Amino acid sequence: MDSLPLYRQLAAHYVDAIHAGSLKAGDKLPSLRSLMRLHDISLSTALQLCRAMESEGWVEARDRSGYFVRRPQRLVIAAMEEPASGLPPDPAQFVNMRTRMANFMARGRLNEVKLNFAISRAAPELYPAEALRNAMTRALRQRPELLTTASSQKGHEQFRQVVAQRNLRVGMTVAPDDVLVTNGCIEALNLALRAIAKPGDTVAVESPTFYGLLQVLESLGLRGLEIPTSPQTGISLEALDLAIHTYDDIKAVVVVPHLQNPIGSVMPDAHKQRLVQLCESHGIALVEDDTYSDLVETEVPPRAIKSWDRTGNVVYCASLHKVLAPGLRLGWITAGRWHAQVEMLKYAQTRNNEALAQIAAGEIIASGGYDRHLRRLRERLHTQRDQTADAIARYFPSGTRLNLPRGGFQLWVELPERLSSVAVFEAALREHMLVAPGAQFSNAARFDHYLRINCGWPFSEAVDAGLRRLGQIVEEGCAAQKSLPASASAATRSPRVAVQSSRARAA
Amino acid sequence: MDSLPLYRQLAAHYVDAIHAGSLKAGDKLPSLRSLMRLHDISLSTALQLCRAMESEGWVEARDRSGYFVRRPQRLVIAAMEEPASGLPPDPAQFVNMRTRMANFMARGRLNEVKLNFAISRAAPELYPAEALRNAMTRALRQRPELLTTASSQKGHEQFRQVVAQRNLRVGMTVAPDDVLVTNGCIEALNLALRAIAKPGDTVAVESPTFYGLLQVLESLGLRGLEIPTSPQTGISLEALDLAIHTYDDIKAVVVVPHLQNPIGSVMPDAHKQRLVQLCESHGIALVEDDTYSDLVETEVPPRAIKSWDRTGNVVYCASLHKVLAPGLRLGWITAGRWHAQVEMLKYAQTRNNEALAQIAAGEIIASGGYDRHLRRLRERLHTQRDQTADAIARYFPSGTRLNLPRGGFQLWVELPERLSSVAVFEAALREHMLVAPGAQFSNAARFDHYLRINCGWPFSEAVDAGLRRLGQIVEEGCAAQKSLPASASAATRSPRVAVQSSRARAA
């Protein structure tokens, strides 16, 4: 026990207290300040203690209130294991996502979809429609020439100021002129990669990662190199390091440090810092896609990777699409040493963004309305995530695994028996449900037995019934697979064994 | 005389009548129907007759009213000559516009600009601000979830329907599903060229052409081949044909058939048709940028090149930015056989467009408000163009030449003595005026002695004074140039001689 770091020893102490019942579900852990005093430890040790307990699912952070003991762990659902980062990475390969995605999307469009678990945002009612509408109507009334004059090339000045100011909260010091407004984060990523790399170059990405990024790589003629990524801590720095030494043509690394899509990981600050150094020392550009950080449920907002950047090697991309208003295409980029190049590319690609959305969003952020919205949104999503995870635990066969992310609206679910998610996708579609099969998130076959399940919609009877039916579909799929004569499925249905069997097969 | 085509003989007859004073400025030419009856000719001959007289400046079309005899020709201002299309075209070259433009733009930003003649749109008060504002406010009120749900991937359905319907007026039959909404025409051009060509490929463009296109080519790693272009009839088909036979790697031709920017040409229908055939027969994609056709002052809207396309080889791009609302970034593309590819590229590049602007614009077009606005806009621009051309004729030294385009808000002015427009740009900037030097519109030095002058703003005393001062700057520049010992400027100041001298030097 003594060989464990101090924060681990203390965490074990509090876990014992939970087991013993002296800390019950809903109880508050001592505050950081109290922990420091109680155990005579530093702030960083107290934070490590809380985060370790949080990532293991014992406690949960609530905005500005501290850490609270969670409800009892789900009975049958096991956490996913860490990826095998010691393995050599996949060879650089040209991704071929577009056709695959086009097929999935066309299949979805051709069928009547009643329950869409494949979607990647929250329900409309979770966003501040009225505040947005009012801000826009006001802007239209107060600025009679808004629609009949061209808007500013870099973006509306007030909005860029608000963004620059907000960046301070995540440790970034940038001037409003360093912020270039784009059509969503996806245009920011396009511009970043066009400025950094040329067709044929290799870009390292997390594996799995969101298909939008894989499509961008393909459309720009870039090769994607998938780096194993932990559901807890994000991209494996060991695997990335190995990849850098194996392939000498990696031009950029793209990561989603906070609530990675689809896996939900949040990179620890120490990892972010090491990643900055690793990229910097090898002359590899680091692109940070920070779409989700405002959804992370922590007491303090997570620090941006860009905050450790001293040389302009980190390109920061973000957007309000998922967090403030899915009806807006409002993103931005702070492109470090590629700034001038990115600005020119943006001008040649789509010119300036329209001003109206920028004015409205800028006002809502500056007024504090955005932060109030975020607190409500995070609470709602927290509840929905728990309800969805509970339903999956209840309805899906044992051997199913998931990690409960620290925010956001999606769950990354590993199916038992390495059941193909494409089969589940097809079966679900026949019953008017859409799920996002794992094959959408990687060019490798590795994630074929995963599903991404949306939990951004209020947990209704229909959602509950849908998840129950999905669980049956998975169960039926597993049974059918087992009945095949050649099936190698000797795994029992105990989650513990499923973990080992999955590891054995993955290796 | 008999060897002339019939319409030419008849045109000479009417020009004689104008000289004789039997037709005076402001008088109406017989209507097309009357002409057919009077001379027993077909509709197409009557149209040829009117268009020939119009392009030579004797008459002008007024919306729905017919052709009217123009005021007396400007006293000192000569028309530009046709380009020498028999010359071999410039070799394919990598354009280097971005740095050049960045310099011009930075120079403009660093100086206080009081009069901007370099701008490429009309004054805010010439656009229907109130109708747009009302349509948007109404859409926000009537659709509570507009901002909190993602909008349609291809574009708002109603807007695409309106566009498809409007296309019928210019001879195009396309389904709403063939219309993909983009962030302005510039994104449409980007998508078209990305789908058609790959880096290193050659694209033929008009010469001169708008610098936005040259920037797009450069940013995509494409080589631009500049084809001589007539101020009257647009791209020289002879020169293009020659270029196609000289270079076997031309992947696409991009043209602005109506009110070409900066030159103001309008392609005759026969040219459009031949261009479609020429491209089709050589397997070269034809990209039509139709940004300005709604500004053409003709009785019937000019037919789109795309209307002759039977094989999907023509890609049609357009936008409302210059004609309805400079504050909106609303364009669209109908990409023929590249449709699926363009749709995927658009999704990977910027996702869908926001719906609000589409709803508002769609409503205004469908309600007839757009056509009413266009009639007013064309009238206003007509007056302003005449006033600006008159001022140039009055204030600029003899030898200055320009063509009065049949619509739009810019004049393309040839300076006497081959005076460098960059020198004029610098001198004007010192007096807080911005002009667009010819060097922005071509990679070749050929257009260094041209200026593009905006006439989209109401002709005020300040504009008049600014043009007077510009004229003095040009005059001083010419005088300084003449006083140089090595000056080859032996040309007299008679416009007629200037024409010849200019031709001799251009050859």
Name residue, tokens 């969003």.
A361
Closest-CA residue of B relative to A140 is B133
Closest-CA residue of B relative to A356 is B327
Whose CA is closest to B338, among B308, B307, B317? B317
Nearest chain A CA: its distance from B503 CA (Å): 34
Long-range pairs, A41-45, Cβ under 8 A, ≥24: A41/A6, A41/A7, A41/A10, A45/A6, A45/A7, A45/A10
Q: Parallel, antiparallel, or unpaired for β A410-414 and A401-402? A: antiparallel
Nearest chain B CA: its distance from A318 CA (Å): 13
- Residue spans of beta strands (DSSP E) within A50-122: 59-62, 66-69, 115-116
Closest-CA residue of A relative to B142 is A133
CB B359 within 8 Å of CB B158: yes
- Calculate the CA dihedral of residues A346, A352, A355, A359 and round it to 10 degrees: 30
Q: Parallel, antiparallel, or unpaired for β B115-116 and B433-434? A: parallel
Rounded distance between C-alpha atoms, residue B151 and residue A129, angstroms:
14
Among A105, A186, A349, pick the best mutation site for testing chain B contact (most B Cβ within 10 A): A349
Rounded distance between C-alpha atoms, residue A379 and residue B452, angstroms:
58
- Calculate the CA dihedral of residues A453, A457, A459, A463 and round it to 10 degrees: -60
**Cα B56 to Cα A203, A209, A374, B403, B404, distances in angstroms:** 58, 62, 65, 10, 10
List chain B residues with CB under 8 Å of A328: 147, 354
The beta-carbon neighbor of A147 closest among B98, B327, B350 is B327
Among A137, A143, A148, pick the best mutation site for testing chain B contact (most B Cβ within 10 A): A148
Q: Which residues contact B439 (CB under 8 A, 6 or more apart)?
A: B100, B421, B422, B445, B447, B448
CB A294 within 8 Å of CB A277: no
Closest-CA residue of B relative to A200 is B199
Whose CA is closest to B408, among B267, B304, B263, B268? B263
Q: Point out which residues pair with B423 in neighbouring strands.
A: none
* Interface touch B148/A136, C-beta < 8 Å: no
The beta-carbon neighbor of B348 closest among A124, A219, A340 is A219
Q: Parallel, antiparallel, or unpaired for β A285-289 and A66-69? A: unpaired
Q: Point out which residues pair with A454 in neighbouring strands.
A: A410
Q: How confident is the model at residue B494, as a pLDDT?
A: 34
Q: Can you read off the two tokens belonging to residue A295? A: 């959804």
Closest-CA residue of B relative to A193 is B349
Q: How confident is the model at residue B18, as a pLDDT?
A: 80
Q: How confident is the model at residue A494, as a pLDDT?
A: 34
Rounded distance between C-alpha atoms, residue B431 and residue B476, angstroms:
14
What 3-state DSSP class applies to B114? coil
Percentage of residues in chain B with pLDDT exceeding 90?
A: 70
Rounded distance between C-alpha atoms, residue B455 and residue B377, angstroms:
12
List chain B residues with CB under 8 Å of A199: 198-199
Q: How confident is the model at residue B5, as a pLDDT?
A: 84
* Interface touch B326/A150, C-beta < 8 Å: yes
Q: Parallel, antiparallel, or unpaired for β A59-62 and B223-230? A: unpaired
* Interface touch A329/B350, C-beta < 8 Å: yes
Q: How confident is the model at residue A86, as a pLDDT?
A: 57
The beta-carbon neighbor of B351 closest among A184, A348, A352 is A184
DSSP state at residue A91: P
Q: Point out which residues pair with A319 in neighbouring strands.
A: A331
* Interface touch B325/A147, C-beta < 8 Å: yes
pLDDT in tens, B428-480: 999 999 999 999 999 888 899 999 999 999 999 999 999 999 999 999 999 99
Among B120, B317, B349, pick the best mutation site for testing chain A contact (most A Cβ within 10 A): B349
List chain A residues with CB under 8 Å of B146: 133, 327
CB B60 within 8 Å of CB B29: no
Q: How confident is the model at residue A335, as a pLDDT?
A: 98
Q: How confident is the model at residue A80, as a pLDDT?
A: 76
B97-119 per-residue burial string, b: 16 or more CB within 10 A, e: under 16: bbebbeebeeebeeeebebebbb
Please report the sign of the dihedral spanned by the C-alpha atoms of residue B268, residue B269, residue B270, residue B274: positive
Domain architecture of chain B: domains with CATH = 6-69 (1.10.10.10), 97-124+374-506 (3.90.1150.10)
The beta-carbon neighbor of B98 closest among A127, A183, A344 is A344
Nearest chain B CA: its distance from A135 CA (Å): 11
* Interface touch B136/A147, C-beta < 8 Å: yes
More confident residue, A16 or B10: B10
The beta-carbon neighbor of A354 closest among B186, B215, B357 is B357
- Calculate the CA dihedral of residues A300, A48, A392, A428 and round it to 10 degrees: 70
Whose CA is closest to A172, among A305, A48, A78? A305
Question: Can you give the pLDDT of all 507 residues of chain A as single tens digits?
Answer: 456 788 888 988 888 788 777 788 888 999 888 899 989 999 889 988 998 888 777 888 887 788 988 875 554 467 777 777 555 455 444 456 667 777 777 777 778 899 999 999 999 999 999 999 999 999 999 999 999 999 999 999 999 999 999 999 999 999 999 999 999 999 999 999 999 999 999 999 999 999 999 999 999 999 999 999 999 999 999 999 999 998 888 999 999 999 999 999 999 999 999 999 999 999 999 999 999 999 999 878 999 999 999 999 999 999 999 999 999 999 999 999 999 999 999 999 999 999 999 999 999 999 999 999 999 999 999 999 999 999 999 999 999 999 899 999 999 999 999 999 999 999 999 999 999 999 999 988 889 999 999 999 999 999 999 999 999 999 999 999 888 765 444 443 333 222 222 223 332
Q: Which residues contact B450 (CB under 8 A, 6 or more apart)?
A: B208, B262, B412, B413, B414, B415, B421, B437, B438, B441
Q: How confident is the model at residue B134, as a pLDDT?
A: 97
DSSP state at residue B93: B
DSSP per residue over A451-489, as a string? EEEE--S---HHHHHHHHHHHHHHHHHHHHHHHSTT---
Rounded distance between C-alpha atoms, residue B89 and residue A391, angstroms:
70
Q: How confident is the model at residue A492, as a pLDDT?
A: 36
Whose CA is closest to B287, among B201, B354, B353? B201
Q: What is the mean pLDDT of residues B334-342?
A: 96
CB B176 within 8 Å of CB A312: no
Rounded distance between C-alpha atoms, residue B298 and residue B55, angstroms:
11
* Interface touch A187/B133, C-beta < 8 Å: no
* Interface touch A350/B145, C-beta < 8 Å: no
* Interface touch B137/A140, C-beta < 8 Å: yes
- Calculate the CA dihedral of residues B246, B249, B252, B257 and round it to 10 degrees: -10
Q: How confident is the model at residue B104, as a pLDDT?
A: 77
Rounded distance between C-alpha atoms, residue A71 and residue A386, angstroms:
10
List chain A residues with CB under 8 Å of B144: 129, 133
Q: How confident is the model at residue B77 (pLDDT cuts 50, 70, 90)?
A: low
Mean of all residue pLDDT scores within chain B:
88
List chain A residues with CB under 8 Å of B102: 340, 344
Rounded distance between C-alpha atoms, residue A443 and residue A423, angstroms:
18
Closest-CA residue of A relative to B128 is A148
The beta-carbon neighbor of B136 closest among A140, A184, A327 is A140
Q: Which residues contact A11 (CB under 8 A, 6 or more apart)?
A: A49, A52, A53, A56, A58
Closest-CA residue of B relative to A192 is B349
List chain A residues with CB under 8 Å of B121: 150
pLDDT in tens, B28-73: 999 888 899 989 999 889 988 998 888 777 888 887 788 998 875 5
pLDDT in tens, B106-139: 777 778 899 999 999 999 999 999 999 999 999 9
SS (H, E, C) B22-57: CCCCCCECCCHHHHHHHHCCCHHHHHHHHHHHHHCC
List chain A residues with CB under 8 Å of B349: 186-187, 190, 216, 219, 349
CB B158 within 8 Å of CB B181: no
Name residue, tokens 């949306």.
A454
The beta-carbon neighbor of A145 closest among B129, B190, B212 is B129
CB A157 within 8 Å of CB A411: no
CB B215 within 8 Å of CB B101: yes
Q: How confident is the model at residue B286, as a pLDDT?
A: 98
Q: Can you read off the two tokens belonging to residue A348? A: 């040649």
List chain A residues with CB under 8 Å of B440: none
Nearest chain A CA: its distance from B433 CA (Å): 19
Q: Omega of the bond prior to A208 within 30 degrees of 0, cis?
A: yes
Q: A45-59, A350-364, B331-345, B362-376: which has the minimum mean pLDDT?
A: A45-59
**Secondary structure element (H or E) that encloses residue B209, with its range:** none
Whose CA is closest to A166, among A394, A393, A31, A362? A362
Q: How far from the centroid of its chain's Cα atoms is residue B136's Cα?
A: 29
Residue B72, exposed/middle/buried by CB under 10 A (0-12, 13-18, 19+)?
exposed
∠ CA B243-B247-B253, nearest 5°, is 60
Nearest chain A CA: its distance from B75 CA (Å): 36
Q: Count the residues in chain A.
A: 507
Q: Please, how many CA atoms are within 13 Å of residue A217, restricted to the half-sphere of its CB?
A: 30
Nearest chain B CA: its distance from A156 CA (Å): 12
